[in-house]
Amino acid sequence: MSLTDAIRTAGDGRESFVVFRGPRALPLRGLGPTVVVETRGEGFEPIGTVLATLERRKAGRGFVAVAYGDGPLVDAVRIGAGLYRGGIPVVVVATSLGALLERATDAGARRGPIVLERPPLAVLFDERDFARTARDGLALLARNALIEGHDLFASLETLAPHAPGRWPWASLGADALHVDRMHRDAERAVFGLGQPFARAIADTAGLRPQAALAIGLRAAALAGRAVTGLPRADHLRLVTLLALLGYPLFDERIDPSAVLAALPLETTFVLPHAIGDVEANIRVPRPTLRRIIGRLATPPGAIEFR
């Protein structure tokens, strides 16, 4: 399937996610007028670049904006296109697994206080980029699997010992995105699984986002053991999966006092009751949080699974 055909298929409403295999150049002839936007920058600058590009191209009725890039780029194009003259549709071509799972499929695009609740016309991803960018999104994939459970988690357990280049990415990616499509609006809160811990760890210990999320998922499992009754076997399965995916499960730079201070008192958490059963908006006592965070500076040991 060519990229043009993939966009047409998605645009007809028959699919919201299409895996294609095609050239890097975007063969968009026959789709109608298109504006391909690639931009960089912080804050609101990329949104201004998008608006300026659309204005320069005199984009109007029948135009489609193509967001080709990573997560922040996707947000900027979706917001800019939505604000431009009443809005023009956006086709997202995500260039990393992380962008695909975290940004491209979300109905809302966010940049600071701006939130645009308008889903993209289509979400596209080159299947060759799955293996190349896997490290940018495997922790997110594990998070989705913990939320969904069932076949997705079991599939990851089977695949994790093997190199990502050998994984059946087309079917696995569709399964992972199915989790996203099944949770909309208020239900999207479950995707905060592990995130409060991950943000606090990344901010205080300087870890990269995916590594911090992996440790954040371990922390969520520990909290689940203490608060929601997560079974020991499910806790062990999650920690084993993260280790097989190559993520660190601890970091000696984690300072429990600093991480706890980075978690506001009103913070609520998404915690697992079991693999495939998670609940949002749970409060965890501060002494329990301190004890959990203290474990994150050392590897999991036998005491963790008692």
At residue 266, the pLDDT reads: 93
80-107: per-residue pLDDT in tens? 888 888 788 787 777 777 777 766 556 5
Judged by DSSP in three states, 264 sits in: coil
Nearest to 120 by CA among 130, 109, 132, 131: 109
pLDDT for 115 equals: 60
CA angle 271, 275, 280 (to 5 degrees): 25
Q: Do 67 and 90 contact (CB within 8 A), yes or no?
A: yes
Which residues contact residue 34 at a Cβ distance below 8 angstroms, ignoring those fewer than 6 apart? Answer: 26, 28, 63, 64, 65, 66, 91
Top pLDDT among 127 and 29 is at: 127
Strand 114-117 vs strand 108-111: parallel, antiparallel, or unpaired? Answer: antiparallel
pLDDT level of residue 53 (50, 70, 90 thresholds): confident
- The closest alpha carbon to 228, from 180, 275, 263, belongs to 275
Supply the DSSP string of 204-226, one letter for each residue: HH---HHHHHHHHHHHHHHHIII
Q: Between the ranges 56-65, 183-192, 231-240, where is the mean pLDDT highest? A: 231-240
DSSP one-letter string for 17-75: EEEE---SS---TTS-SEEEE----STTHHHHHHHHHHHHTT--TT-EEEEEESHHHHH
Burial profile 206-222: b = 16 or more Cβ within 10 angstroms, e = fewer: ebebbbbbbbbbbbbbb
Q: Show the DSSP H helices in 127-267 as ranges.
A: 128-132, 138-148, 150-159, 169-182, 195-205, 209-223, 232-244, 256-261
Q: HSE, CB side, 13 Å, CA atoms: give it for residue 153.
A: 20
Pairwise CA distance, residues 275 & 226, whole Å = 16
Strand pairing category for 64-69 and 90-94: parallel
Quote the pLDDT of residue 8: 47
Q: What is the CATH number of domain 3-131?
A: 3.40.50.1970
Q: How much is the pLDDT for 124?
A: 73
Instruction: Tell me the average pLDDT across 187-195.
Output: 85
Q: What is the pLDDT of residue 29?
A: 45
Among residues 289, 111, 100, 295, which one has the least CA distance to residue 196? 289
Q: Spell out the domain ranges in the chain.
A: 3-131, 137-305
- Is pLDDT at 164 greater than 60 in this prediction? yes
Question: ∠ CA(115), CA(135), CA(165), 5° rounding?
Answer: 125
Q: How many CA atoms lie within 13 A of 58 on its CB side?
A: 0
End-to-end CA gap in the chain: 51
Superfamily, domain 137-305: Dehydroquinate synthase-like - alpha domain (1.20.1090.10)
Q: What is the pTM of this model?
A: 0.74
94-108, 185-199, 223-237: least confidently modelled range = 94-108
Q: Pick the residue with more confidence: 42 or 197?
A: 197
pLDDT single digits (tens) 24-43? 444 444 444 445 554 454 55
Q: Of the ranges 137-141, 182-186, 270-274, which is most confident?
A: 270-274
